[in-house]
Chain A
């Protein structure tokens, strides 16, 4: 199993550009989520999904969209990038809402 994979590892955007961060898992996990981590801070939940076709907002959802068309994939879309979205983004998955989440390696995003 590859576990949770994220692409790209690094990305630089200009303000106003849009892009999609990819997340995939091969463990058949129902629950997937996106977090962001700013310097010196803990992780904050952006969006989560309890299964294909079902998504919901977390703590800091503004400026981000998600969709879950398959069990394996949970992409995160930045609609119009802003410097405040400069952060490291982690995707996680777990077997059900009470399973122990496994995290991907992260995507380091810089918005100039």
Chain B
């Protein structure tokens, strides 16, 4: 699986959009971009994933560049409860080795 690079931390004001960047310059054609988050010591929570098209769900939007070498997770109206570690993961599409490889993630702090 391709590796990802994320800044260690960022913050944003409550109510504003949080844009979390991720670089995955060695991504291959059949690999998906996944985002998970971990609040305090809870189990990781699935947020969204995509291949090459932009994706949106009730939690967030995922913007993938045309060359697929980077992506941005957007939380449109961040709340204090969005304070967490966010993991950007590149994963092969199918097969027994299609597993998630977690890095250190980015710590998002939402301030009042």
Residues of A that sit less than 8 Å from B by CB: 4, 33, 35, 40-45, 48, 50, 56, 58-59, 88, 90, 92, 97-98, 100-106, 108
Q: Does A33 lie within 8 Å of B103, measured CB to CB?
A: no
Assess whether A43 is in contact with B99, with CB atoms less than 8 Å apart.
Answer: no
Q: Which of B45, B87, B94, B99 contacts A33 (CB 8 A)?
A: B99
Closest CB of chain B to A41's CB: distance in Å?
7
CB distance from B22 to the nearest CB of A (A): 14
**Chain B interface, number of residues (Cβ within 8 angstroms):** 22
Interchain CB contact (< 8 A) of A100 among B34, B42, B96: B34
Tell me if B93 is interfacial: C-beta within 8 Å of chain A.
yes
List 25 A-B residue pairs with CB atoms under 8 Å apart, sorted by A's residue number: A4-B43, A40-B104, A41-B104, A42-B87, A42-B105, A43-B100, A48-B96, A56-B96, A88-B41, A90-B43, A92-B43, A92-B100, A97-B94, A97-B95, A98-B93, A98-B94, A100-B34, A101-B100, A102-B46, A103-B43, A103-B44, A104-B43, A105-B42, A106-B42, A106-B43
In addition to A102-B46, A103-B43, 14 A-B residue pairs with Cβ atoms within 8 Å of each other are A40-B104, A42-B87, A42-B105, A43-B100, A48-B96, A88-B41, A90-B43, A92-B43, A97-B95, A97-B99, A98-B93, A100-B34, A105-B43, A108-B41
Q: Which residue of B lies closest to A49 (CB)?
A: B96
**B9, CB-defined interface residue at 8 Å:** no
What separation, in Å, do the CA atoms of A24 and B97 have in the docked complex? Answer: 22
Question: Once A and B bind, how many residue pairs between them come within 8 Å at the CB atom?
Answer: 54
Q: Which of B49-64 contact A (CB under 8 A)?
A: 49
Q: Which chain B residues lie closer than 8 Å to A59 at the CB level? A: 101
- Taking CB as reference atom, which chain A residue is nearest B91? A98
Q: Is there contact, CB below 8 Å, between B98 and A44? A: no
Mostly helix, strand, loop or mixed at chain A's interface? strand
Residue of B nearest to A33 (CB): B99
Is there contact, CB below 8 Å, between B43 and A44?
no
A90 touches B44 (CB 8 A): yes
Evaluate whether A42 and B42 lie within 8 angstroms (CB atoms) in the complex, with A48-B99, A97-B96 already known. no
State the CA gap A106–B44 with chains docked (Å): 10
